[in-house]
Amino acid sequence: MSRQSRIALTLAKRWLATLPAARFGLASGPRRRAAFARGTRRAFEELGPAFVKLGQLISVRPDEFSDELVAEMRSMQDAVPPLPYERIAEVVRAEFGRDPDELWDAFEREPVASASVAQVHRARLREAYRPVWGAELAAGTDLAVKIVRPKAAEAIRADVGVARRLAERAVRWGLARRFDPVGLLDEFEASVDRELDLRQEGRFADRFAFDFRDDARIEVPRIVWPRSARRVLTMEYMTGWRLTEIDAAAAEGVDCYGLAVHGATAFMRQVFVYGRYHADLHPANLFVTPRNTIAYLDFGIVGYLTPEERMNITQVMAALVYRDADRALRYSAKLGVDVPAEKVDVIRAGLGALLDGTERPDGTRDFRHFGLGFLRLLGEHGIAIPSGYGLLIKSLATVEGVARALYPQIDIVATAQPFTTRVLAQAMGDPARLAERLPAAVRAALRELVV
C-alpha cells in the first residue's frame, strides 16, 4: 500500500471510529468537535514523526483551529520505542566519523528519552570545555546527547509531500474553509527544517543564557560545540523536578510562588525586551531545580519579534493590565489585526467586556480568558489574525498555565503590570519616539498654558 493510501486510510479509520462518540453527527457542537479531535490525534500518533510535529504546530495555533483540536494536540504523546544503540551510533559515525565511545565517556546505550524525531542519551564529558557563555564545564561533567533518529528528516519530508497533495485536493473540494492547509504545511516545513538542524537549537540556548546572564534563578544547559553537529547536540545534563512533580519540589523547600512569578517575568522579558522567546513551553521543557532555579530545555521552537512588534505587543499587554480597550485595539491594528471601520464599535465593546471579565473567583486575573477570548472574538467577526500574533497570545496563555502549575493562585496580570509599565516608560526615552511625539506634547503644553 502506498504511503498516501496509508495516510488517507488511517485518518478515515480514526474519524469513522469517532462516529459513535459524536452520536453520528447528532451530538452537540463541542462534543462532536472533541470526538473528531480525539480521532485526529490518534491518527497523527499512529502516522509517525511528521504528523506528531504537525500536531505540535496545530497545538500552538488557536487562531486557526478549534479549542478542542488545540487541546487534544497538546496532549499528544511524543514517546516512541527507542531505537537500538547500533542505529544511533550510525548517525554519530555519519556526523563525526567516529564511534560514540571515542567522543564521550560513559555513553549510555539506553536513552533517557525517546521521541519521534530524536532520542537523548546520557554521557560524560571527556575533556574540560569552555562554553560560549558561562563557567567552564569540567571533564567528567554529565551530558545529555540529543541525536536525530536516522532517516527522520527524509521521512518527514516525504510525508509533507504526500500531505501537501492531500491538502491541495481538500482545498479543491472545498473541505478546508476555516484555514489554509497548504499555507500551514509551508509554515510547518520551514519550522521542521529549523528543528532538524540541532545547531540552531544550540545557538538559541547560548543566546538565551547570555540574555539571562544577570539572573541567577534562570539556568540553561551549556552547549559543547566540538561534540555537536547538524544531527547531534551535546549539552550539559540538567536535573530537577518536572512541573508534574511540583509537590515533591515544594516538600524539598523549593519556593514555588517565587519561581512562578519569576518564570512569568522571565518570559515577559524574552518577549517585551529581547523580542525572541521560547515558543514551546510545556511541562516537559522546564525543570525546577533544588537550587531554587528554573532550568529551560529544548529550544526547538522559537518566536522572534521585530522591535516594532515588540513594542506593540507590550502596548497590548499594558491595555490588558490597565483595562484600556482603545489601546488594545489601536496596537493590535499595528500588529496586523485589521478591523473594518463598520466593526470597530462592536469589537471595542466585546473587548471591553473581555477586559472587565478577566477576574477569577479567587480575585486573581486571567490572561488566558482575555487572550483566547480576543482571538475568538476576531474569528467570529471574520477578521484575519496574523500567525505571529496568534502564536504569541498562545505562548502567553501557556506561560500563565505553566506559572499556575507552579503556584495556582498566581495573578499573571498583576505580575505583568510593573514589567510592561517599565518597558513603556523606557520607550518614552527613546530619541526617535521623543522626536515623533515632542511636537504634539509641546502643543498640548502650550494649550494648557494659554487656557
As to burial, measured by CB atoms within 10 angstroms (0-12 exposed, 13-18 middle, 19+ buried), residue 250 is middle
CB of 414 to another protein, least distance (A): 7
Which of residues 217 and 327 has its CB atom nearest to another protein in the complex?
Answer: 327
Nearer to another protein, 387 or 417 (CB): 417
Nearest approach in angstroms of CB 173 to another protein is: 48
| Least CB distance to another protein at residue 6 (A) | 36
Toward another protein, which CB reaches closer, 157 or 330? 330
Nearest-approach distance from CB 444 to another protein, in angstroms: 14
Q: Kindly state the smallest distance separating residue 159's Cβ from another protein, in Å.
A: 29
Q: Please, is 336 exposed, middle or buried when counting C-beta atoms within 10 Å of its C-beta (0-12, 13-18, 19+)?
A: middle
CA-based nearest residue to 235, from 198, 284, 285, 283: 198
Cell of residue 74, nine digits: 497538546
Shortest spacing between CB 100 and another protein, in angstroms = 13
Catalytic hit among 63, 206, 211, 280: 280
Does the active-site annotation cover 280? Answer: yes
Supply the minimum distance, in Å, between the C-beta of residue 204 and another protein: 11
SS (H, E, C) the chain: CCHHHHHHHHHHHHHHHCCCCCHHHCCCHHHHHHHHHHHHHHHHHHHCHHHHHHHHHHHCCCCCCCHHHHHHHHCCCCCCCCCCHHHHHHHHHHHHCCCHHHHCECCCCCCCEECCCEEEEEEECCCCECCCCCCCECCCCEEEEEEECCCHHHHHHHHHHHHHHHHHHHHHCCCCCCCCHHHHHHHHHHHHHHHHCHHHHHHHHHHHHHHCCCCCCEECCCECHHHCECCEEEEECCCCEEHHHHHHHHHCCCCHHHHHHHHHHHHHHHHHHHCEEECCCCHHHEEECCCCCEEECCCCCEEECCHHHHHHHHHHHHHHHCCCHHHHHHHHHHCCCCCCHHHHHHHHHHHHHHHHCCECCCCCECHHHHHHHHHHHHHHCCCCCCHHHHHHHHHHHHHHHHHHHHCCCCCHHHHHHHHHHHHHHHHHCCHHHHHHHHHHHHHHHHHHHHC
**What residues make contact with another protein under the rule CB under 8 A?**
95-98, 130-133, 199, 203, 206-207, 210, 213, 223, 225-229, 273, 318, 321-324, 326-327, 355-356, 359, 365, 414, 417-418, 421-426, 428-429
CA gap 315, 420 in Å, rounded: 8
CB closer to another protein, 44 vs 267: 267
| Smallest gap from residue 134 Cβ to another protein (A) | 9
Q: How many angstroms separate the CA atoms of 357 and 117, rounded? A: 42
Positions marked active-site: 280
